């Protein structure tokens, strides 16, 4: 898997880039979209094959570092005593 993250100011722009990667460029793998606590929108791309740099350079959005958990979901701890 090849991982890339892009950050956008609007949800519409993020979704348009995801559609473009999936439909126009044939990127396969997983796409994760969410709003960050700072209010921006982030697209994490986990591609099965490398995406050409020439394609990435043409995409709007700012490339950011992915802070992952090595493929494992991060668990939220429940305080003891709460049922």
How far is it, in rounded angstroms, from Cα 29 to Cα 47?
5
Q: Return the domain boundaries, the chain.
A: 2-64
Residue of 29, 35, 37 whose CA lies nearest to 15: 35
**Beta-bridge mates of residue 29:** 47
pLDDT at residue number 66: 77
pLDDT at residue number 65: 85
Q: Which two tokens stand for residue 45?
A: 């791309």
pLDDT at residue number 44: 94
Mean pLDDT, consecutive 10-residue segments, the chain of 83 residues?
92 96 94 93 94 92 76 44 49
pTM of the complete model beyond 0.95 = no
pLDDT at residue number 48: 94
How far is it, in rounded angstroms, from Cα 44 to Cα 2?
10
How far is it, in rounded angstroms, from Cα 23 to Cα 67?
27
Pick the CATH number of 2-64 from 3.20.20.220, 3.30.70.2390, 3.30.70.260, 3.40.630.10: 3.30.70.260
Q: Which two tokens stand for residue 1?
A: 């898997």
pLDDT at residue number 69: 53
């Amino acid at each position: 898997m090849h991982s890339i993250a892009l950050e956008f100011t609007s949800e519409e722009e993020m979704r348009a880039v995801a559609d473009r990667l999936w439909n126009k460029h044939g990127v396969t793998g997983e796409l994760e979209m969410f709003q960050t606590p700072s209010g921006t929108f982030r697209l994490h791309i986990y591609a099965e094959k490398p995406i050409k740099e020439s394609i990435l350079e043409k995409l709007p959005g700012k490339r950011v570092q992915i802070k992952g958990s090595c493929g494992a979901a991060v668990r939220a701890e429940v305080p003891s005593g709460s049922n």
